[in-house]
Amino acid sequence: MENSAVLISSPLGVLAVLVFVAAFFFMLEQTTRAKLFQYIPPLLFIYATPVFLNNFGVIPSSSTVYSGLSAYALPAFIVLMLIKVNVPAVIRVMGKGVLVMLMGTAGVVVGAVVAYLIVHSSLSEDAWKGYGALAGSWIGGTANMAATAEMLGTSEELFGLAVIADNVVYIVWLPLLLMSRNFADRFNAWARVPADRLVLMDVAAEAHVETSHAPTMPQYLFIGAIAIGATWISTSLAPGIAHWIASVSPGLEAVFSVTTVRILLVTTIALSLSITPVADLPNTTALGTALIYIFVAGMGARASVSGLAEAPMFVFGAFIWIFIHGLFCLAGAWMFRVDIHSVAIASAANIGGAASAPIVAAHHRPNLVPASILMALLGYAMGNYLAPLTGHLARIVAGQ
Kindly list the domain boundaries of the chain, sorted by start residue: 72-397
Average pLDDT over residues 318-329: 96
Nearest-angstrom CA–CA distance, 264 and 284: 20
Average pLDDT over residues 344-358: 87
Confidence of residue 352 (pLDDT cuts 50, 70, 90): confident
Check residue 211 and give its pLDDT.
62
Question: What does the mean pLDDT of the chain come to?
Answer: 88
* Closest by Cα among 387, 125, 394, 395 to 263: 387
Nearest-angstrom CA–CA distance, 236 and 390: 27
| 222 phi and psi angles, rounded to 5 deg | -60, -45
Nearest-angstrom CA–CA distance, 363 and 208: 19
pLDDT tens figures, 30-77: 898 887 877 778 888 898 899 889 888 899 988 999 999 988 999 998
Confidence of residue 109 (pLDDT cuts 50, 70, 90): very high
Check residue 336 and give its pLDDT.
93
pLDDT tens figures, 176-189: 998 999 988 899 89
Check residue 233 and give its pLDDT.
95
First-to-last C-alpha distance (Å) of the chain: 31
Check residue 393 and give its pLDDT.
95
Average pLDDT over residues 319-331: 96
pTM, two decimals, is: 0.87
Check residue 331 and give its pLDDT.
95
Asked if the model's pLDDT at residue 206 lies above 80, the reply is no
